[in-house]
Structure 1
Amino acid sequence: MKKLGITLLVATLFVSCSLSKVEKSARKTVDGNWQLNSVTYDEKGVFNTHLLNDVTATCFENSQWFFRSNNSTGTYNILDSDCSTGVRNFRWAANEIGKDSGVFDFTLKFTDDKKKDIEKNTGYRMNLKYLDDNHMQITQTIQFEGKPFNINMNFTRTTL
């Protein structure tokens, strides 16, 4: 009886922690190579923003991104020679908000090249606003002049 109880507990935990079909589908779609084509804003104007506490939005344009869904890791490579170039490693997740909503929290946490967290309590929570086989938009909402301000990172799939 004790063995059956433990088996049921482990099975319940496994089922409750598994990804939904929608989350699995989104992760599979995100998997692969992407180029960050542009950074846009929901407000009109010229803004000097630093994304992910790294480099300016202009430096991110044309950066190359890779997402691996089977272990939730990835990299991006800043290519603009006027910026701090190079590859950055991260861990990511796309978690659906609510059941079958199709709306996702997108989280990103920097790691070293051995997949160890660089900073324990630092990461970024954004929204996966749009995703299809060839296009993706991730939006970070910050506070600007006391109001929510959206920074949109617009990606297209590449075949690197």
Structure 2
Amino acid sequence: MKKLMLLSALFVLMLSCKSTAPATNTKVDNKSQVGMKGNWVVSSVTYPGSEYIKVTSFGLADSQCFEGSTWKFVSNNDSGEMAIVKANCPSFSSPIKWFVNKEGKFVLKVLNAGEKAKKVRDGYVLDVANQSPDSFQLVDHIDVGGKLTNVVYQFQKVNQ
């Protein structure tokens, strides 16, 4: 009986030590955010099996429709906008709210016109990778047949 109680106490202790803070409640990585400030275009969207598997990105359109999409990031107020502009894809434009947390996670909310971000319950959390002044990647992890697959969105800076 003592062993059972000890194991139960150990299990509770392990659970209480695990961080339960969601990605949206962490501190902001200002350096990464300032590095993303400006206008960007998605130059490619890649993932294993893309010739066979269709992935819907951000609940909006086929991932390949995001190639050529335009994104504007304003770092001082975590706002911006994005637009799908590829031929044979649904036309879409929307304001966004976003930030990068200290764990390197990009948190995104796609808003309807006039909608407040705090009213939007759904969002997306992606990893930031290979950030430089002229490019960066956002990496989404999706389940394909029980296996995690990375969808990589390659962003290129638009010079103005």
For normalisation by structure 2, the TM-score amounts to 0.76
* Number of matched pairs: 134
- Deviation, structure 1 residue 140: 0.4
Kept after mapping to 1: 8 A contact 2:109/2:120: no
Any residues of structure 2 matched to 1:7-156 within 5 Å, and which?
19=28, 23-41=29-47, 43-46=48-51, 47-97=53-103, 104-114=104-114, 116-117=116-117, 120-156=120-156
**How far apart, CA to CA, are the structure 2 residues paired with 1:59 and 1:118?**
28
- Classify the secondary structure of the residue corresponding to 1:27: helix
- Deviation, structure 1 residue 84: 1.4
C-alpha distance 119-84 of structure 1, shift in aligned 2 (>3 A): farther
Kept after mapping to 1: 8 A contact 2:85/2:92: yes
**Structure with max Cα Rg:** 2
Kept after mapping to 2: 8 A contact 1:75/1:88: yes
Q: Unmatched 5+ residue regions in structure 2?
A: 1-25
Kept after mapping to 2: 8 A contact 1:91/1:115: no
| Structure 1 stretch displaced more, 59-68 or 75-84 | 75-84
Two-structure CA RMSD over aligned residues (Å): 1.9
C-alpha distance 44-106 of structure 1, shift in aligned 2 (>3 A): same
If each structure's strand is expressed as a fraction of its own residues, which one has the higher value? 1
Q: What percent identity do the matched residue pairs reach?
A: 25
